[in-house]
Amino acid sequence: MNADPPAGAGPRLATADVRPEGRRVRVTVAGELDLSTDRRLGDDLRATLRNSAQGIDLDLHGVRFVDCSGLNALLGLRCQALEEGKTVVIRSSSPVVDRLLELTGADGLFG
């Protein structure tokens, strides 16, 4: 059984592009936010938040899939931000991200 995505489907795992913007950091995430995110990308996002002065602005427009593990990664990032006196703001998101945030009541936590 082949677990790789079909040809032309693009990368399965989430990728992130990190760009400092003044006292904040803009992180553009594309791909899938799932269990692998919490292990791999989550560590990178937490380090990026630690190294930012005020917090992170997330662009999740390129996210094609998100599950509860991906949501937990985002919520964990938000908790860390609160502990550090910073914020995590979702500036742009895809319909799948919007839907999960709405269904779980988390849509107001990242404004």
Can you give the CATH number for the domain in which 92 is found? 3.30.750.24
- Residue at 75 is within a domain: yes
Say if residue 110's pLDDT is above 60: yes
- Residue at 6 is within a domain: no
- Residue at 82 is within a domain: yes
**Using one digit for the tens of pLDDT, what is the confidence trace for 35-91?**
877 677 888 999 999 999 999 999 999 999 999 999 999 999 999 999 999 999 999
- Number of domains the chain is built from: 1
What is the 3-class SS of the chain, one letter each residue?
CCCCCCCCCCCCECEEEEEEECCEEEEEEEEEECHHHHHHHHHHHHHHHHHCCCEEEEEEEEEEEECHHHHHHHHHHHHHHHHCCCEEEEEEECHHHHHHHHHHCCCCCCC
- Residue at 93 is within a domain: yes
- Residue at 9 is within a domain: no
- Residue at 22 is within a domain: yes
